[in-house]
Amino acid sequence: MSLYESSFPQMARMLGQVPTWLDKAQAHAEQKKYDPEVLLAARLAPDQWPLGRQIQTIISWPLRLSALLVGAEPPAPQTADETIAELRARIGKTLEQVSALKPEQFRGAEDRTIPLFFLPGKGMRAPDFVFQFALPNFYFHATTAYSILRHNGIDVGKADFIGPIALRDL
Amino acid sequence: MSLYESSFPQMARMLGQVPTWLDKAQAHAEQKKYDPEVLLAARLAPDQWPLGRQIQTIISWPLRLSALLVGAEPPAPQTADETIAELRARIGKTLEQVSALKPEQFRGAEDRTIPLFFLPGKGMRAPDFVFQFALPNFYFHATTAYSILRHNGIDVGKADFIGPIALRDL
């Protein structure tokens, strides 16, 4: 298995679940007659990023990781508030960009050192970066986004988080 | 990278952070003069597993995955309530068992089909099982446990979730 296989297909699969969560959030808002956009400001603790920022972070990870693994400058993160429609559009665009990534673009990435923007002068071996930092952070924000919706009464369940899995007959 | 490298070291690292979260929970309880054990029944939604069960699930994943990857029967999950001290003891024991796993025990595991207990007659390719099911589930329950504490005012932060990372100089 390569770093490509260990990260991008699954990040895309999880990101691809977010529109399902947003569908359920919008259905809940319609049923309860509230503005679904208010959910984007919801949090589980007052000093935590709200839902909108959690989703922005999930969106940013695949292309950020893709840039870092080839030694390119990562795209600037989107941190200005976005509407649900804007988030949906960026999810769609990001999924297209991630599906265009080719495993061979990342040949040799295993041997790179990834610089850490928050620790000048320090970096991590690329496999350590993927497994100890990128994936845990990605799942952290994905689960937190899901949990904020769950805590607000939206009918999301584990299957909405995991999404379809690749089955085979025994 | 092998399935071993893609899963066990990082599952152990994350599980190894849980005692830090429990330390902070117990310090919060002492400061606010409440019984820390009540936190084990806390949830973010009434139809969600409480903190104790979330931690039990994180504990169970590494040895469950280890058994499944070699075609053995996974250990029965512990679902009876446990105290914080009991959870701590099982985390310690599990970390010892995971650190005793050797990469060579899992040679050829990539070619296995892992049966799904909740879908009789169906299974997943072992790499799909690890990346699409085991890791997302593991992180889902780890983040949910963390979020339940965070939501209850415990002073856990992202660094407590991620834990120490393997740095090198640039």
| ipTM score for this prediction | 0.96
pLDDT tens string B7-55: 999 999 999 999 999 999 999 999 999 999 999 999 999 999 999 999 9
Nearest-Cα distance to chain B for A82, in Å, is 24
Alpha carbon B36 to its chain centroid, in Å, reads: 20
Higher-scoring residue by pLDDT: A78, B144: B144
* pTM of the complete model: 0.97
Q: A6 to chain B: which residues are within 8 Å by CB?
A: 1, 6, 131
What phi, psi does A166 have (nearest 5°)?
A: -80, 100
Cβ–Cβ below 8 Å for B44 and A44: yes
d(CA A77, CA B154): 29
CB contact under 8 A, A140 and B139: yes
The distance from CA A131 to its chain's CA centroid, rounded to whole angstroms, is 15
**In a 3-state reduction of DSSP, which class is residue B161?**
helix
Task: Give the pLDDT of residue B11.
Answer: 98
> Nearest-CA distance from A153 to chain B in Å?
7
Helices B84-99 and B18-32, packing angle to 10 deg: 160
- H helices of B16-134, where? 18-32, 51-69, 84-99, 126-128
Closest Cβ opposite residue B13 in set A132, A143, A153: A132
Lowest mean pLDDT among A23-37, A144-158, B67-81: B67-81
